[in-house]
Amino acid sequence: MATEPTNALATIETLNPIAVFQTQGGVEDILSKLERDVRSIPTDPTTDKGRKEIKSLAYKVARSKTALDDMGKAVAEDARKTVDSVNASRRTITSRLDALRDEVRKPVDDYEAREQARIDEIKGRVADIDAMPRILAGMNIAQLRGCLSELETQKAHDFQEFSARAADAIQRAEMAVNAAIIITEQEEKNRIEAERKAAEEAEAARIAAEKAREQREAEIARQAAETARLEAERIAKAEKDRIENERRAAIAEAERAEQRRKDEAAQAERRRIAAAEQAERDRIAAVEAERKRVAEEKAAHEAEEKRRTADKAHRATINREVLADLVAAGLTDELAKQAISAIVGRKVRHVTLSY
């Protein structure tokens, strides 16, 4: 691209304002020559030197506009009769030379816009990669492996001048994802094993509790039945002895004594039946009380198990987040686990984990 100004640009300030503005076609001639000379200059917006030269050329066009406009003002001051014509010419100068300036600058503006869009796209990709370690919490194994696949895809992308920064972000993100996968897999194994043991223990406890309950109920029923039988026998024997004594004492009044004996025997039977029924009610009440006690013990046990399970899950979540942060800070997975174990075991002074 030529660095010397063209004749039209170089001679603007030497023009005679009267000749330009009062000669028929004078403005058109100078504008046409400016447009022709400027547009004939080759431009290259892809190099730094070329872009600077384009900006310089656009600046010279703007200065030419100002110079011509100033000439017009001078002519207008000297010739009021041609003010309207001169002002129209000035507007034409402003419009066309602004358009010419914008036309000259457009390749640079377009290039810089494309460059900014390219840089913004690459920076956006790098920002997404940088953010990945912060969104891993709560993901399952499939989602975490999907993150690794996404990082592999990013490796194939051309980050151009940001390649080093992108490679560092991808490496840190891969470390965080791999650490999260290890933690999640181990937690899943621990959860399955804990559930299996808990189920076995619960079933064993249920069987033992059921057996103990059946034994207690059987013993209660046996004792109640035995008590009822002994009480009935005692009442019957006592009544029998009383009747026999009265029979001997009232042998002379046989008929009346016989009737009285029958009445008293019937009453005794009713009392015996009442005693047996009361014993049965007592037995049922004792069985029901035992069942209620067993149910309350079971409910308390289940509530305690739920509390322990929730606490274990909460602690696991805290430990997983701490591990991920330590790994993100640069520790290996093994060193991060050892650090957490030391803190939990209160072997690190002044440092604790808040659950």
pLDDT tens digits for 177-208? 888 888 888 888 888 888 888 888 888 888 88
What is the SS3 assignment for 136? coil
Residue 55 has a CB neighbour count (10 Å cut-off) of: 14
* Dihedral in degrees, nearest 10, Cα atoms 178, 180, 183, 184: -110
Whole-angstrom distance, CA of residue 43 vs CA of residue 52: 10
Residue 75 tokens, joined: 């002519």
- Rounded to whole angstroms, how far apart are CA atoms 320 and 330? 16
For the segment 209-229, what is each residue's pLDDT rounded down to a tens digit? 888 888 888 888 888 888 888
CA distances from 246 to 60, 235, 251, 254, 338 (A): 150, 16, 8, 11, 94
What's the one-letter identity of residue 169? A
Q: Please, which pLDDT band fits residue 5 given cuts at 50, 70 and 90?
A: very low
- Give the amino acid at 244: E
C-alpha atoms less than 13 angstroms from C-alpha of 313 in its C-beta half-sphere: 11
Residue-wise pLDDT for 235-252, tens only, equals 888 888 888 887 777 677
User: In this predicted structure, what is the pLDDT of residue 83?
Assistant: 64
22: CB partners within 8 A, 6+ apart: 75, 79, 82
| Alpha carbons 133 and 171: distance in angstroms, whole number | 11
Residue 6: pLDDT band (50, 70, 90) is: very low
Q: What pLDDT, on a 0 to 100 scale, did the predictor assign at position 3?
A: 41
Give the Cα separation of 85 and 81 in Å (integer).
9
